Amino acid sequence: MAEHKIVYCNCTYARIIEKDVKQAVLQALSETGVAFTAVPDLCEMAAQKDPELARLMSTGPVKLAACYKRAVKGLCHSSGVTWNDDDIEVINMRETDAEGVVKALLNTEALS
């Protein structure tokens, strides 16, 4: 993946991602000083058909820390956002530890 955007979903309105993982990821991103966008809840953006979702997900390569790829893809579909599999890498914070998430977000080489 070439130069990519970093997007972090905080899943604010549910407790499905461990708090420690979320905090450690945010902390690491804050420490590096890298540019990134943090959204409170991607599900809410999809439900509201927030145009910002399209800007984040379909304008060039993006690495997104959230939950399962199948869920995120479905959310994008539900709000009419084009899904380009080559450009979007979803890092699942429900299954990956903080170190793995940060590594995947910051590593500019393609991971999968």
Partner 1 sequence: MTHIVLYEGPGAQSMQVDERLSLMSACLESGVRVEASNETEVDSDGPVCVIGYLDQDSAHSEKDNVQLFNLHELEQEEIIKAIEEKAQERKPWKPWFPVIDFDRCTNCMQCLTFCLFNVYGVENETITVANPNNCKTDCPACSRVCPEVAIMFPKYKAGPINGDEVNEQSLEREKMKVDISSLLGGDIYSALRTRSTESRTRFAKERDDERALKERQRCYKKLKEALDIPDSVLASLPDQDMIDMKRRAAMDDNQAEGGV
Which residues lie near partner 1 (CB under 8 A)?
10-14, 16, 23, 26-27, 29-31, 33-41, 43-44, 46-47, 52, 55, 67-75, 77-78, 94
Q: Which residues contact 88 (CB under 8 A, 6 or more apart)?
A: 57, 61, 62, 64
State the residues that interact with ligand SF4 by CB under 6 A. Answer: 9, 11, 14, 17, 41-43, 66-67, 71-72, 75
Residue 29: both structure tokens together: 């991103």
Task: Select the binding partner of residue 60 from partner 1, ligand SF4, none (C-beta < 5 to 8 A, by kind).
Answer: none
